[in-house]
Amino acid sequence: MKKVAIIGVGHTKFGRLNDKGLMDLLCEASLDAIEDSNTTNKDFDSVYVGAMSPGAFNQLSGVASALVDKLSLLPAAADHIKNGPASGGSAVKAGFQAITSGMSDLVLVVGGEKMTHITTPGYVTSNVATLTHPKVERRHGVSLPSFAGMLTRAYLEKYNAELDWISDIAIKNHRNGTLNPKAHFQRTIEDFMKSAIQKGKGNWDDIYDFLKDDKTNPIIADPLRLFHICPISDGAAALILCNADKAKEYSESPILISGIGQATDTHIVYEREDITTLKALRICSEQAYKMAKKTPNDIDVAELHDAFEILEAVQSEDIGFFKKGEGAKAAHEGLTEIGGKIPINPSGGLKARGHPLGATGVAQVVELVWQLRGEAGKRQVDGAETGITCNFGGFGNNILSILVERM
């Protein structure tokens, strides 16, 4: 199989970007990646766009065809790849296959979403809830946050874990986010607490008390509260992929996509043997490790899909870093911090970097590229040579894992 290198990356600021539309964001990330890769005057063969719901959120279809024209990349082939919140990861895989198939030599992959302009209450959550099973789950009012609440409850009971340990993940990711200029949130949870105290909203002995206050951190899906759940964000991220044989022509520090896996699980969540195990992640990460001839012990840094903070704990187990039931405790003990045994989400993760659905799977890879190039600034994981992602579609029924390493 041909090898695929990442020779350029782009990443808009994530957040509430009032003056930018979806196409603006996709263009901005793409142009940054093109410039970063020194391919400004090159002919691209293919463009893949990962986005979950440009139709529902932005009244746009044909976003890939539109983008390739806006970027003056005609007549490059262009397709829009949809896989819910894992649309970005699926777009990376499509670009990877375009090159390994021999059909393309130079490929742009971009993921993005523009959501914060939507003011109808519940519109976004309802749209995302169309990922659940319509007859067995959705008609009864199930949404992704409610599944995450149930998963949290089951996890805490089964493994005798504490909700504060899940909070520790949010605390870590907000702290990491302050080190990432592109992140949606630029404040630690301690900052939020101090601000609330200054505004006279209350007084707390420690951060866990603050995080248990119904006014400042209301319950969204018991036991999960606001700070256990990622925000709705706008943003886009992009990669330039090329045949690895030619990577050094463009970049001094190309990064190899050496493993990639994707697997599905039951649509109906209650049909799974164990809600606290992400079987699809076990399978797809195993595929990625096998393709790259690596093991979890070889990984220096990971970007996981903490749309809900419980997911980072569970994923850190099923991707092979910790034994079942030990992921939340490991986070509590600091093992997943920058400088810890296995740094997870130095970018701030979905919690603090933000989660513009289709952007996330691409942004995870962009963060790893920065880490492996040594360009991650204050959040740099020292000497990182190998990284892996988990990009989570539906409620875990379609997951991708992408393994990257220095060439």
Among 8, 10, 15, 84, binds its own copies (CB under 8 A): 84
Residue 133 in the binding site for its own copies (CB under 8 A) = yes
| Distance (Å) of CA 53 to CA 115, 126, 139, 227, 353 | 9, 12, 21, 25, 20
Question: Which residue type does 238 have?
Answer: A
Q: Does an H or E element contain 317, and which?
A: helix 309-318
Among 35, 43, 102, 157, binds its own copies (CB under 8 A): 102
- Which segment (62-70, 162-170, 227-235, 376-384) binds its own copies by CB under 8 A? 62-70
Distance CA 383, CA 235 (A): 28
- Which segment (57-65, 232-240, 241-249, 326-334) binds its own copies by CB under 8 A? 57-65
**Beta strand ranges found along 121-227 (DSSP E):** 219-221, 224-225
Residue 305 in the binding site for its own copies (CB under 8 A) = no
Report the nearest approach of its own copies to the CB of residue 206 (Å).
40
What size, in residues, is the chain?
407
Site mask, its own copies, residues 37-56, x = CB under 8 A? ---------------xx-xx
Burial pattern 216-237, b for ≥16 Cβ within 10 A else e, equals bbeebbeebbebbbbbbbbbbb
Q: Does an H or E element contain 90, and which?
A: helix 87-100
Report the nearest approach of its own copies to the CB of residue 85 (Å).
10
Residue 188 in the binding site for its own copies (CB under 8 A) = no
* Cα 81-253-36 angle, rounded to 5 deg: 55
Show contacts with its own copies in window 225-254 (CB under 8 A). Answer: none
Among 103, 122, 140, 274, binds its own copies (CB under 8 A): 103
Strand partners for 15: 234
Binding site for its own copies (CB under 8 A): 1, 52-53, 55-56, 59-62, 64-66, 68-70, 73-84, 90, 93-94, 96-103, 127-128, 130-131, 133-134, 260, 262-268, 279-280, 283-284, 393-394, 397-398
